[in-house]
A and B are shown apart, each in its own frame.
Chain A
Amino acid sequence: MEKKVKIKINGKEFEVDSEKSILQAARENGIYIPAICYSDRFGAIGACRICAVEIAGMKKPMLSCAAKVKDGMEVTTNSPALDQLRREIIYEWDTFHPLQCGVCDKSGECELQNINYEFNITENPKEAQTDPLSIPQGTIHYEWKIIHHDANLCIQCRRCVAVCDKVVNFGILALVKKDGDRKEIDTKDGKPLDCEFCGQCVSVCPTGAMSSKLFKYKARAWEMEKVPTTCGFCSSGCQMDLNVKNNEILRVTSEEYTPNMANLCNLGRFNYSVSKSDRLIKDYSLNSKTLNQEAMLLELSQILKNTPKEKIFGISGARETHEDNLAFKMFFNNTLSNNNIDSLSSTHIGKLYKYLPQSVNTLYDFSDISDANLIICFGGDIANEMPRIDWSITRGAKLLKTSKVISAYWKDTKIDTLGSIPLRYEPGRELDFLTSFAFALKSEGYGAGLDGLDSLTGSEFDVSSIMEEVKKASNIAFIVCQEALERSNGEEIAKAVSNIALLLKDKIKVYASSKYNNAFGALYNNYGSSNEFSIQRLLEFAKEGKIETLILLNADLFSFLSDNEAKIVRDSVKNIVLFDTFESKTSLIANAIVPVPFFTSQSGTFINAEGRVNKINKAIECNVPCAWEFLFKLSTNLGYNLSSAKLQLKDKKITLNGPADKIYTINTNSSVKGDGEFVFIANYSKFRTSVYSGYGEGAKLAQSQSVLHISKEDAQRIGLNDGDIANIEANGASIALPVKIDEQMPKSVLAAQLWFENTNPYNITGGFNNLVRANLTKAQGGLK
C-alpha cells in the first residue's frame, strides 16, 4: 500500500505519496519548479541542477527531482538565492552557445530558449569573462545515419544517455572525454552510430543538439499542425502526432502523457515518408487498364455476380482499420452469405486465442507488464517484434526495478542484459520448455482440481531454475512472441501456453505479440471462425479449384507465402481482386486493383494488443475513399444494402470470446521440414512490419536488406565473412543473403528477417512455417 506523507511547499501543506520525489509532488499539485534533465520516462539524472529547492533544516539546496518527500518536510521552491543559483547555471549553458536559433530546428520548442526567456536573461556576465578563443569547437556528427548530433548545442543534461539506456535498453550513448577535460555526447566506442534508430534521444533532447536528419530544415516547429493518431506499423498501438504542413507529414512526435510515454520506435517516428511513397496505388485498374470508380464498381459487380457465391474467398491483411475489417467481414457474411474469409491474424495470435480459455484471455494494458513481479518472455525477440513491450519490460526491470525477467528463447537477446534468467531451448523445441513448465507447475500443486491434469507430461528440459521465482511471484506477465506462434506447430504451442495460463490462472496475465497493427481487431471481428476455410488452407483450396475469385484486403500474398506458392494461387484462381495501398508483388499479378488510403489519410480505429480501441485521424488528403465505402457501394450493386451497418465501436476496450477452461493434451511429435545441417529460422527485424514498411526512409536507412545471422564459428568453418553472399538451400529451393556474423547466434542455427525486398525467406521454409533444416554454402563469384 502506498504511504501518504504531509509536506509543505511554499508554506502550503499537501498530502502526497511517500514514494514521490519533491518535483513530482510539486507538479502534481500544480507548483512549478524548473527542471531540464528530469523526465518520467527515465527518472532523475541529477545533471542540470536547475531543479534545486531549499529544504528547511538543510544547509544546501537539494535537487528536487532526486530527493524523495519526507513527512513534515518544508520546501521552498523560489528564493533570491535559488534564483541566483539558477541564473548561474543558465549563464554557464549560454556561454558561447552558438546563436543559431534562426536556423536551429529546435527553435520554438527549445527548453534552453524557454528557460532563458523565463529568467529574462539579456546578458551573460560569464561570457564577458571568457576568452572566445578558449571555446572549443564541438563535433558535429554529419556521418551518423538518421540522427544528427551537434555537440556545440549540447548542454550535457544526459537525457539522451538516460533514455537510450533506461528506456530503449540499448545504451550506446555516453558523455565521453574528448581532448582536454572537455566532454561530449558520443557513441561509447566512438564509431558512427549504429543502433535502433528509434530517435528517443531526439525526442528527449531539450535543445537542438540531437535532431532528426530527416526533418532537418524542413519546417519551423510552429508551422506544422499536429494531428493525433495511432501508429499503423505494429499492434503496440503507440499514440503519436503527425506533424503536417502543406499536406505533407514532415515529422512524427509524441507526448509524455500518452500511454507510450512519448516513446516510439524507428517505424513510428521516422518512417512517415511511406505515406508519400512513389509506390502508392492511386488508380483503380482492371487487367492493367485504368478505370474510374464507377466503372470499377460495375466491373467488379459483374465479376462477383458471375462467380458462384461459394467460390468467392477473402483474406484480410489485419492491417486495415477496424471499420474496413468489419465491412469486409460483413460483405462476405451478409452480401455474399458465406464465411470463406480469414485474416493474417490466424497465422499467429489467432491460434492462441482459439485455445486460450475465456478465464485467462483478457487483454491487459502494457503498463501492467512494468508492474509485474515476474515477466516471462517466450518464443521470440520481443524487441524486434514489438518495441513497446520491450520498453515495458525494461521499465519494470531496469527503471522501477519491480520486475524479474525470464527469457525463454533459443538465443540471447537484448532483454537478457536485464539480469534475466535465461532458458535456452533449441529452435523448434519450444514445446519442451512449455510442457516441462506446465508439468513442474502441476507438480507444485498449481491448478489442483482441473480436469485433464493427468495428461500433462514433462520433457527433459530443465525449468528448475525459474520455479523459485514463479512461486514467489504474485503477478506474472507472460509474453508469447509471434515467432513461436508462427511455427508450423504453432497450434500445439498455443495449447501448451493455454495450459500454463490456466495453471497459473490467478496470477498470470498473458500478452501476445503481433506485427500486424490491427490483428486483434480481426480477432474481435471473428475472423478465423469458419470451420471449413482458414488461411492455412488457401493453397489447398486454390489447387482443388474451389476458389474462383479471391479478394485480398491489404494482404500481400508474397508476405506470407513462398513465391512459388503465391504463383500457384495465382494460376489456380481466376480473379484476384486486391484492395491495397501500396504496390507489391501481388499488385503485379492481381486482376483488379482497388486503391485504399494509408492510415495517415483516413479516420477510423485500430485495436491494439492491449485491446484498446485507438483512434486514427486523417492528416493528409489523398482522394481515395476508404475500403468500407467502396465495399458498401459494391454491396449495393450486388443487391444487399450494408449502409445501415454500424462500423464504429463505442467501447474503449474490447474483450475476446474464448473456450471454457480446459487442459489440452499436447502433441509433441512435430517434425521439422528438411534435412540440412543447419536450422534456419525466418523471423523479424525491428525495422519492418510488412514489405511496404520498407518503402519509407527511416526503415530503409536503418536496414536496407535482409541479412543472414550466423555464429562466428560456423561462418569461419564455411569461410564466410560479413557481407559475403551465402546460399541457403532447403526443400529444393534456395535463397541468397548477405552474411552478418552475430556473436549471439548458437552453433548450427541461421536466421534471416522477413519482409525485405531482397529475398523471401518463405521460399525455403514454405508458407505458415518459419523453421526448416537447411544447407549453407558460400555463393561463388560474390554478388549474384
Chain B
Amino acid sequence: MLFKDLRKGLSVTLKYLFTHAVTCQYPTQRLNVPERGRWLHALNLHEESQKIKCIDCGLCEEVCPSKCIEIIPTENEDHTKSPAIYNIDLGRCCFCGLCVEVCPELAISMSDKYELAGYDREKFVFTKEDLIKVGIEYNNKLQKKEGAL
C-alpha cells in the first residue's frame, strides 16, 4: 500500500527530472520584461544638449502616493530650472508609475531593470546620477532594439 504511493510519486519526479525545464533559469537566464512594465525609474536627457529633461515642476513629487521622491531645485546660469538633487527612495516606492504618467516633460520613465534587492536600506535611495545612468543604458538598449528591427 505504502510503497505503491511512493513509487507513483517518485515516477513523476523522475519523469520531470529528465524532461527539459519549463521555468526560467534565473540567474543564468533572464526573461525579457514587457515594455510597459513598471520597473526601476530612469531620468532622461535631452538628446542634443545632454541636459536633464526634468524641470522640477514638482508634480511627480506631489502625485507620488508613497512620498518617496525628493527634489531640490537649482537655477542654472541661463535662468532655467533643474533639479540639483533628485532622489527616489525605492524602499518606499510602490511602482505605481504615477510619476511617469504625470510628468509633462517626459523626463522620467521606467526601465526594464527589476533586480532591486539589497542588504541596506540606504542603498534603496537612488540619486539623480544613478537614475540618469539607468536612463542612458536603457535608452541605448531601446535604440539598439529599434535598429535591429
Give A residues with C-beta under 8 Å from B. 101-103, 107, 140, 142, 216-220, 222-223
A217 with B74: CB separation less than 8 A:
yes
Given A217-B75, A218-B73, do A103 and B62 touch, yes or no (CB 8 Å)?
A: no
Asked if A103 and B74 make an inter-chain contact with CB atoms under 8 angstroms apart, the answer reads: no
What B residues does A219 contact at CB under 8 A? 58, 73
Asked whether B58 lies within 8 Å of A223 as measured between CB atoms, the reply is yes
Question: Which residues of chain A have C-beta atoms less than 8 A from B74's C-beta?
Answer: 217
**Which listed residue, B62, B79, B80, B105, touches A220 by the CB 8 Å rule?**
B62
Q: Closest Cβ of chain B: how far from A140's Cβ, in Å?
A: 8
Given A216-B75, A220-B62, A223-B58 in contact, is the A103-B105 Cβ separation under 8 Å?
no
Q: A142-B79, A217-B73, A217-B75 are in contact. Are A102 and B57 (CB under 8 A)?
A: yes
Give complex CA distance A223, B60 in Å: 12
Q: Which of B62, B73, B75 contacts A222 (CB 8 A)?
A: B62
Closest CB of chain A to B119's CB: distance in Å?
Answer: 29
Closest 6 CB pairs of A and B: A102-B57, A220-B58, A103-B81, A217-B81, A217-B73, A217-B75
A153 to chain B, nearest CB (A): 13
Residues of A within 8 A of B62 (CB): 220, 222-223
Bound-state CA distance A451–B119 (Å) is 90
Q: Find out whether the CB atom of A102 lies under 8 angstroms from the CB atom of B79.
A: no
Which residues of B lie under 8 Å from residue A102 when comparing CB positions? 55, 57, 59, 104-105
Using A216-B75, A218-B73, A220-B58 as known contacts, say yes or no to A103 and B80 having CB atoms under 8 A apart.
Answer: yes
Q: With a CB–CB cut-off of 8 A, which chain B residues contact A107?
A: 57
Query: Is A217 touching B58 in the complex (CB atoms < 8 A)?
Result: no
Chain B: CB-nearest residue to A218: B73
Q: Which residue of B lies closest to A220 (CB)?
A: B58
Within 8 A of A (CB), among B82-132: 104-105
Task: Tell me the bound Cα distance from A218 to B72 in angstroms.
Answer: 8
Q: Tell me the minimal C-beta distance from B64 to chain A in angstroms.
A: 13
In angstroms, Cα B82 to Cα A217, docked, is 9
Interface SS majority for chain A:
loop
B→A interface (CB under 8 Å): 55-59, 61-62, 73-75, 79-81, 104-105
Pick 13 A–B contacts, CB within 8 A, sort by A.
Answer: A102-B104, A103-B55, A103-B56, A107-B57, A140-B79, A142-B79, A217-B74, A217-B81, A218-B73, A220-B57, A220-B62, A222-B58, A223-B58
Closest B residue to A140 using CB positions: B79
Chain B residues near A217: list those with CB within 8 A: 56, 73-75, 81
Closest CB of chain A to B106's CB: distance in Å? 12
For residue B75, which residues in chain A have a CB less than 8 angstroms away from its CB?
216-217
CB-CB < 8 A to A220: which residues of B?
Answer: 57-58, 61-62
Q: What is the chain A residue whose CB lies nearest that of B76? A: A217
Report Cα–Cα, A103/B78, bound state, in Å: 14
In the complex, the chain B residue whose C-beta lies closest to that of A246 is B72
A217 to B61 alpha-carbon distance, docked (Å): 15
In the complex formed, the residue of A with least CB distance to B104 is: A102
Cβ–Cβ < 8 Å partners of B79 in chain A: 140, 142
CB distance from A150 to the nearest CB of B (A): 10
Bound Cα distance A102, B75 (Å): 14
Task: Please give me the residue from chain A that is nearest to B74 by CB atom.
Answer: A217
Contacts of B57 in A (CB 8 A): 101-103, 107, 220
Q: How far is the CB of A14 from chain B (nearest CB, A)?
A: 40
Q: Add 16 more A-B contacts to A102-B59, A103-B81, A140-B79 (CB < 8 A).
A: A102-B55, A102-B57, A103-B55, A103-B57, A107-B57, A216-B75, A217-B56, A217-B73, A217-B75, A219-B73, A220-B57, A220-B58, A222-B58, A222-B62, A223-B58, A223-B62
Give the shortest distance, in Å, between B101 (CB) and chain A (any CB): 15
Q: Chain B residues near A103: list those with CB within 8 A.
A: 55-57, 80-81
**Closest CB in chain A relative to B43 CB, distance in Å:** 16
Contacting residues, chain A, for B56 (C-beta < 8 A): 103, 217
- What separation, in Å, do the CA atoms of A101 and B81 have in the docked complex? 12
Which residues of chain B are near A101, meaning CB under 8 Å?
Answer: 57
Write out the residue numbers on chain A whose beta carbons fall within 8 Å of the beta carbon of B73. 217-219
A218 to B75, CA, bound (A): 9
* Minimum C-beta distance from B75 to chain A (A): 5
Min Cβ gap B70→A in Å is: 9
Complex Cα distance, B76 from A103, in Å, reads 12
Residue of A nearest to B84 (CB): A217
- Cα(A101)–Cα(B57), bound, Å: 8
Chain A residue numbers with a CB within 8 Å of B61 are 220, 223
Closest to A102 in B: B57
Cα of A218 to Cα of B81 in the assembled complex, Å: 10
Chain A neighbourhood of B80, CB < 8 A: 103
Which of A216, A217, A219 has most B Cβ within 10 Å?
A: A217
Nearest B residue to A223, CB-CB: B58
Complex Cα–Cα for A46 and B58 (A): 35
Report the Cα distance A216→B62, complex, angstroms. 19
Give Cα distance in the complex from A103 to B58, angstroms: 9
CA distance A220 to B61 in the complex (A): 10
How many angstroms from the CA of A220 to the CA of B58 in the assembled complex? 7
Docked CA distance A196–B133 (Å): 48
Residue of B nearest to A103 (CB): B81
A222 to B58, CA, bound (A): 9
Residues of A within 8 Å of B55, CB to CB, are 102-103
What's the nearest-Cβ distance from chain A to residue B61, in Å? 8
Chain A residues, CB < 8 A from B58:
219-220, 222-223
Say how far B85's CB is from chain A's closest CB, in angstroms.
12
Please report the C-alpha to C-alpha distance between residue A217 and residue B74 in the assembled complex, in whole angstroms: 7
User: A142–B75 Cα gap in the complex (Å)?
Assistant: 13
A218–B83 Cα distance when bound, in Å, is: 11
Q: Cβ of B81: which chain A residues have Cβ within 8 Å of it?
A: 103, 217
| Whole-angstrom distance between the Cβ of B21 and the nearest chain A Cβ | 50
| Chain A residue nearest to B80 in the complex (CB) | A103
| Nearest residue, chain A, Cβ from B75 | A217
Measured CB to CB, the closest approach of chain B to A208, in angstroms, equals 12
Closest to A108 in B: B58
Query: What is the CA–CA distance of A310 and B81 in the complex, to the nearest angstrom?
Result: 62
Provide the bound-state CA to CA distance between A220 and B56, in Å.
Answer: 9
B40 to chain A, nearest CB (A): 24
Instruction: Give A282 to B59 CA distance when docked, in angstroms.
Output: 37
Closest to B73 in A: A217
| A222 to B61 Cα, complex, angstroms | 11
The complex places the Cα of A142 from the Cα of B78 at a distance, in Å, of: 11
B45: min CB distance to chain A, Å: 17
Shortest distance from the beta carbon of B69 to any chain A beta carbon, whole Å: 12
List residues of chain B with CB within 8 A of the CB of A218: 73
Q: A142 contacts which chain B residues (CB < 8 A)?
A: 79
**Cα separation A140 to B58 with both chains bound (whole Å):** 24
For the complex, what is the distance from the CA of A107 to the CA of B58, rounded to whole Å?
10
Alpha-carbon distance between A142 and B77 when the two chains are bound, in angstroms? 12
Q: For the complex, what is the distance from the CA of A101 to the CA of B75, rounded to whole Å?
A: 16
A223 neighbours in B (Cβ, 8 Å): 58, 61-62
- Shortest C-beta distance, A744 to chain B (Å), equals 38
Bound complex: CA of A103 vs CA of B79, how far in Å?
11
Give the shortest distance, in Å, between A440 (CB) and chain B (any CB): 60
A122 to chain B, nearest CB (A): 16
Give Cα distance in the complex from A103 to B80, angstroms: 8
Expressed in whole angstroms, the Cα–Cα distance for A142 and B74 within the complex equals 16
Chain B residues contacting A140 (CB-CB under 8 Å) are 79
